[in-house]
Amino acid sequence: MGVEEIVLLNADDEAVGTAPKSTSHHSDTPYHLAFSCYVTDTDGRVLITQRALDKRTFPGVWTGSCCGHPGPGEKLRDAVLRRLQDELGIQDATLTSVLPRFHYRAVADDGTVEHERCPVVRAVVPAGTAVRPNPEEVEHAEWWTWERCLKLARRPESSLWYRLQLAELAPLGAPLDWPDAGLSALPPALGW
C-alpha cells in the first residue's frame, strides 16, 4: 500500500495539492479535506466510537462513528464506504449528505491542529448490523440512544468536532429524521 495522502484546500475549498497524511498533522496543519460519518441503525440508535488510545492525534476521545480523509480524486461516497469497512467492518450503508458545509479547526492537548473542511454524512444500516472495530483505529464502539449522544456533546471527553457537529445536528431532530442536504454545497474539491 502506498503513502496515504490528504487533499490540501485553499480558502475557496478548491484542491491545491496533496500531502502525506502521516506528516501533515502538527502544530501548523494545512487546511485539508476530510469527512465525518454518523452510522444510525433502523431502530434510531447511533454508533459512537472512542478513538484508539495509541492514535497519534486525539487519542481516546469519544466521537461519531467514523471519520477520514478522501484521497486525491476519491469521491465522498467512496471514501465513507472505505472507512466504514476499514474502521468498523461495515460492508454497506445508505448514505445521505447532512452537513455538507461543515468545517472546523481544533487543537489537541499536545498542540496538534486539525483544520478541515469536513462534510458530515449519515449512514443508515439495518438494526442488528455486526460491527467489527479495527483496534488500530477504534478503542470502543457502542450503539447509543440519540439522547445519550446529546449528553456526550456536553462532556470534555468528546472530540471538539463532535461537539461542533452536534450543535448543528441537534436542531435537525433524531438521526433518522435528518434531512438530505443535497450535494450542491459540497466543496468544489469533492464529488459524491
**Cα end-to-end distance, the chain, whole Å:** 24
Residue with cell 498533522: 25
CATH number of the domain located at residue range(s) 5-171 in this protein? 3.90.79.10
116 among known catalytic residues: yes
Instruction: Give the tens place of pLDDT for each residue, 101-113.
Output: 999 998 888 888 8
Q: At 150, is the pLDDT very low, low, confident or very high (cuts 50, 70, 90)?
A: very high
Q: Which of 5, 74, 114, 116 is catalytic?
A: 116
Instruction: Quote the pLDDT of residue 1.
Output: 54
Catalytic residue among 37, 67, 118, 149: 67
Q: Report in angstroms the alpha-carbon separations of 95 from 84, 123, 167, 182.
A: 11, 5, 21, 11
Mean of all residue pLDDT scores within the chain: 94
More confidently predicted of 188 and 25: 188
CA-closest candidate to residue 38, choices 89, 78, 94, 86: 94
Q: Are strands 32-33 and 113-117 parallel, antiparallel or unpaired?
A: parallel
Task: Using a pLDDT cut of 90, give the percent of the chain over it.
Answer: 84
Q: What is the mean pLDDT of residues 91-95?
A: 96
